Structure 1
Amino acid sequence: MPNSALSAPIVTMAGRPLVDCLPAASTISGKIMSRYLVDSALSGRVPLATLRRDVTATVKACLELAARLLAGEDAAKPLAEVRFGVMEWAHQGVLIDSMHTAVHTATRMVFDHLTAQAEPAADHRAVARVTQVFVELTSRLATVISQAYTSEMRAAGSDAADAVAAALIAGNATPAMARARGVRLAESYVVFAVAFVAHNEEQPLLDRQIISRRTIRRVRAEVSHQWADHALMQIGADSATLLIPQDHFDPAGAERLVEHLAVAAQTRIRATFVSARADGISEEIERVRAVLDIMRRLRRDGLERFEDLSLEYQLSRPGAAGRHLAAALDSLDKHPVLLETLKAHLATRSTRVRTAHVLHIHPNTVDYRLNKIAEITGLDPMHSDGVWRLRSALVARMIGVADQESANRGDPEQTAPAAQAC
C-alpha cells in the first residue's frame, strides 16, 4: 500500500472526506458486546469493564485501519493492534469462527454506515472506493485473525522451547537436551535484553496482573511474528531476554525492533544486545543486564548498544575510581543551576546554541555559566579534556546518586510484582 495520503486522491461522500464519515467506535463496540460477548462464557472469565475496554480498543484499531486504507496510508500499526486484540480473545477461549463472525459483523456495520450517507446521484465514485477498500479490509482482517490465532496456539505449547532458553541463559544447555525438546541450537546468538518501564498510574491489583500477563503474551507474539520459531525467549512481567540466531538478526533493524516491542508491551522500554556463542550466553547475560541497569539509573529509554555505554559500564563497576571521579562535581552542589547547565551542555554534545535552546536562555548566559563551572571545578567544559572529565564525573555521580536513592526509598521505576506467565 502507499505510505502517504498524498498518493491517493481525497474522495468525498455527501460533501465530506470518507474518513470523516466513519462511525464512532462506541457505536460499533456496544453492538458487538451485546450481540456476542455479554452473555458468553467469556464475560465470566474477564471483568466486564476490561472486556468492554478490549472490544473498544479492537474496534478503534479496525476503524483506524479502515481510515488508513481509505486515505492510502500505511496500515501496519492498526493491523498490529488488531492482531494483539485477537490474541487476547484466543487466550480467553474465543473460537476462531466466533472471531471471524464478530469482526465480519463489525466490518459490515461500518460499511453500511458509510454507504447509507451516499447521495445516489452524486456519490458513485465514493461508493466504489468504499467497496474497494472494504474488500481489502475484509481480506486483511481475515488474514490477521488467522495469524494471531495460530500464534496464540503456538505460544500455548511453547514450554519446551522456553526450557531450552532457560538452560542457555543458565549455561547448562546441551545439543542433546535441545534436540529432545524439538529445538536445534545455533552456533551463536544475539542476546537481546529488554526491560519494560513501569506505568506510573495507579491501577487495581487485578488490572496490574492482567496487564502483566498481557504484556508477556503480546511481546511473545511479536517475537514470534518477527522470527517464527527461530528465536528463543524468556519473558517476565518486567523484562525479556530474547535469544536470536546470529544469522537471523540484522543489527540495522534493531531500532525498528525496539519500536515494535514497545508497541506490543504498551509501555516504554529499554533494550540492548550483544553477540555470544551458544555456550557463552550465560556470561553475556550479566553484561546486558548491567547495561539495562545503567540505562535505568541514567533514566534513558530506547536502544543503547553496549559499545556506546562502555564508559558508563566501566564507571559502574565497584571501586575507588568512580567515587573519585564523582567527587569532582561536589563543588557544584551549592550551585544547582550550574549543575543543570552542565547536564544540558553535555547532553547537547557541548553545543552552546543548542544548550541555550534547551534551557531557554541566551547563548551568552550559557558562556557565563560554563566559565563559572570551570572556575569552581577546575575543569573547563569548553575544552575537550575538560568535557571528557566532566562527562565521566557526571556519569559516575548520577550512578552513585541513583544507587543511594534506591537504597533510601526503593527504585521509583520498579514494576508491579511479577505475574506468572500464562
Structure 2
Amino acid sequence: MPDSILSARTATTVGRPILDRLPAASTISGKIMSLFIVGSELPDRVPMAALRRDVAALVNACLELTARMLTGGDTAEPLAEVRADVMEWAREGVTIDAMHKAVRVGTQAVFDHLTARARADEDHVALIETAHMFVHLSRELAIAISQAYLRERRVAGSDAADAVAAALIAGNATPAMARACGVRLAESYYVFAVGFVPRRGADEPHQNRHTLAHRTIRRIRAEVLHHCDDNALMQMGTDTATLLIPQDHFDPAAAERFVEQIAGAAQTQVRAAFVAVGAGGIPEGVQRAHAVLDIMRRLRRVGLERFDDLSLEYQLSRPGTAGRHLAALLDPLEEHPVLLETLTAHLATHSTRLRTALVLHVHPNTVDYRLNKIAEITGLDPTQPDGIWRLRSALVARMTGAGEKELAAGGDPDQTAQAC
C-alpha cells in the first residue's frame, strides 16, 4: 500500500477535495510509535524494524478505511486488515486500552490534518460532514479493536482445546474429558495435515526466530478459528500442523481457499492433505494425512491434495515386495545424483522440459541430454507415457525402502526446488 492515499480523488465535500489532503502514513506513524515504546517491554521482545513495520501496517489500514469512507467505498477489506493488525499487537501483550489510545491519537491527527486549512465561514458544511464521518470511523475502529482482542483471547485460551486435540489424535479422548475442557466432540471430522515450506533467504537474527515462529503460529491459529467458527481443534508445530475440523462446520469445496488463507497467515507456501473420518478413526486419519503430506514433500508439491488424489502414490509407498521391486528400478541412478535430481524435478513439473530447466536453472538442451541418459541407464524413457508412469511409481516406492538414499542424492526437496 502506498505511503499516502492520493489516488482516490473522487470524494469531495461541498466541492472541496478533502481526500487529497490525507496525510502520509509516515506522518501518523511517528506520532503513535512512542506510545508502543516508551515504558514498554516490546523493544526487548520484538525487533525495532518489526515494530515500525507493524505500526505502518496499522496506520495504512486505518488510512485506507478513512479513504473508503470518504468515497463511499466498501470498508470490509480495510476493516479486516485493521483487525488482523490489532491482533498482532494483542499477541505482543499491548493492552486494549493502549491500543484504543493509539488509534484515537492517530484518528485525531488525521482529522486535524484534513481540517487544518478549513475556513469556518466557507467550509462550515464540509467540516460538519467530515466530523460526522470521523465519528463513524471512530466507532468502526473501536468495534474492530474489541473484536480483535476477543478473538485473540480465544486463540490464547486454547490449552484445553489443544489437550482434547492431542487426546483425539492419540485415540484416548472421551466425551467426559472433552466436556471438562469445554469441547463438544463431533461425530465426524476432516483431518488436515499441513506442512510449512521454509522460506528462502530468511535473514532474521537467531534470537528473533522464536518470537517470529510464535507470532506465525498465533496468526495461523486465528485464521483457522475464523474460517471454522472457532470449532477447529489443533496440534501446532513450527513445521507442521494437524487440524481436526467437525464435518458439519466445514465445506470441503472451500478447502483450497482455506489452505490459501493458511498460507497467507503463515506468510510462506504450504502443502496440505485432508481425509474425512469418524471420531473413532482420527488416529488412522492423522497417519494417512501426514503420510500423504510426506509424499507431497518428496514429490515437491505445494498446495492442497485430497487423499483420494494421491491414493496410488500412498499405496505405492507402503512396504512390500512390489514396492521394493519398483524402488529398485532407480538403483542405477544412485551413482548419478544429478540425473536423479533431474528426474525428480521433471516428474514434479508434470514432465515439462521447459519448467524442469527453469527449476534446475539449466538450459532445456541440458534437460534433454539428462533425460536421454536416464533412459539409457534405467531402460525407462522419461519422455514417454509408459516410462513416466513406471519412473514416477518407482520414485514414490523408493520413499519407503530407500528414502534416506533419495534425500542423500537429491537433497532436501524443500531446499532444492521450492518453486515446483
Same fold (TM over 0.5): yes
1:339–1:146 CA distance, 2 compared to 1 (3 A): closer
Task: Please give the TM-score of this superposition, normalised by the length of structure 2.
Answer: 0.76
Asked if structure 1 preserves the Cα contact closer than 8 Å seen for 2:349 and 2:355, the reply is no
User: Residue in 2 aligned with 1:105?
Assistant: 105
TM-score (norm. length: structure 1): 0.75
Q: Which residue of 2 aligns with 1:4?
A: none
**Residue type of the partner of 1:266?**
Q
Amino acid at match of 2:267: Q
C-alpha distance in structure 1 between counterparts of 2:382 and 2:249, whole Å? 44
2:13 counterpart of 1:11: no
In structure 2, the residue matched to 1:387 is 388
Cα deviation per residue 1:382-407 (whole Å; 9 max; x = unaligned)? 55333321322344457878633757
- Give identity over the alignment, percent: 63
Which residue number in structure 1 is paired with residue 418 of structure 2?
Answer: none
Structure 1 residues 267-276 or 396-405, which shifts more? 396-405
Q: Note the C-alpha offset of 1:330.
A: 5.5
Q: Distance in 1 between matches of 2:115 and 2:399?
A: 60
| 1:11-410 equivalent positions in 2, closer than 5 A | 11=10, 22-34=22-34, 36-43=35-42, 46-47=45-46, 49=48, 50-66=50-66, 78-113=78-113, 137-200=137-200, 201-319=202-320, 321-329=322-330, 340=342, 343-344=345-346, 347-348=349-350, 377-381=378-382, 383-396=384-397, 403-404=404-405
Cα offset for 1:171? 0.7
Q: Which amino acid aligns with 2:306?
A: R
Give the aligned residue type for 2:394.
A
Confirm or deny: 8 A CA contact 1:42 1:92 kept in the other structure: no
Change (3 A) 1:98 1:301: same
Q: Which amino acid aligns with 2:326?
A: L
In structure 2, C-alpha distance between the alignment counterparts of 1:397 and 1:210, rounded to whole Å: 38
Alpha-carbon offset, residue 111 of structure 1: 4.6
Gaps of 5+ in 2: 1-6, 416-420
Letter in 1 for 2:25: A
Question: Residues 121-157 of structure 1, C-alpha deviation per residue, up to 9 Å, x if partnerless?
Answer: xx99999998898666545433321111111222333
Contact 1:155/1:221 (<8 A) preserved: yes
Q: Give the AA of the match of 2:36.
A: L
After superposition, the CA RMSD in angstroms is 4.7
Distance 1:137-1:392 versus aligned 2 partners, 3 A rule? farther
Q: Is residue 23–residue 113 contact of structure 1 (8 Å, CA) maintained in 2?
A: yes
Q: Would the aligned equivalents of 2:319 and 2:400 in 1 still touch at CA under 8 Å?
A: no
Q: In 2, are the aligned partners of 1:342 and 1:370 still within 8 Å (CA)? A: no
Aligned residues of 1:230 and 1:245 also touching (Cα < 8 A): yes
Contact 2:170 2:283 in 1 (8 A): yes
Distance 2:23 2:150 in 1: 30
Question: Relative CO higher for 1 or 2, CA cutoff 8 Å, sep ≥ 6?
Answer: 1
Question: Which secondary structure does the structure 1 equivalent of 2:191 belong to?
Answer: strand
State the secondary structure of the residue aligned to 2:238: coil
Unpaired segments ≥5 residues, structure 1: 1-7, 415-422
Report the 3-state secondary structure (helix = DSSP H, G, I; strand = E; otherwise coil) of the residue aligned with 1:202: coil
Q: Larger deviation: 238-247 or 67-76?
A: 67-76
Shift of 1:181: 2.2
Whether contact under 8 Å (1:298, 1:398) holds in the other structure is no
Deviation of 1:247 (Å):
0.9
Where 1:185 maps in the other structure, the secondary structure is coil
User: Which residue type is aligned with residue 168 of structure 1?
Assistant: L
In 1, the alpha carbon distance for the partners of 2:278 and 2:404 equals 32
- Distance change (3 Å), C-alpha of 1:361 and 1:157: closer
Asked if the contact 2:195–2:239 (Cα under 8 Å) also holds between the matched residues in 1, the reply is yes
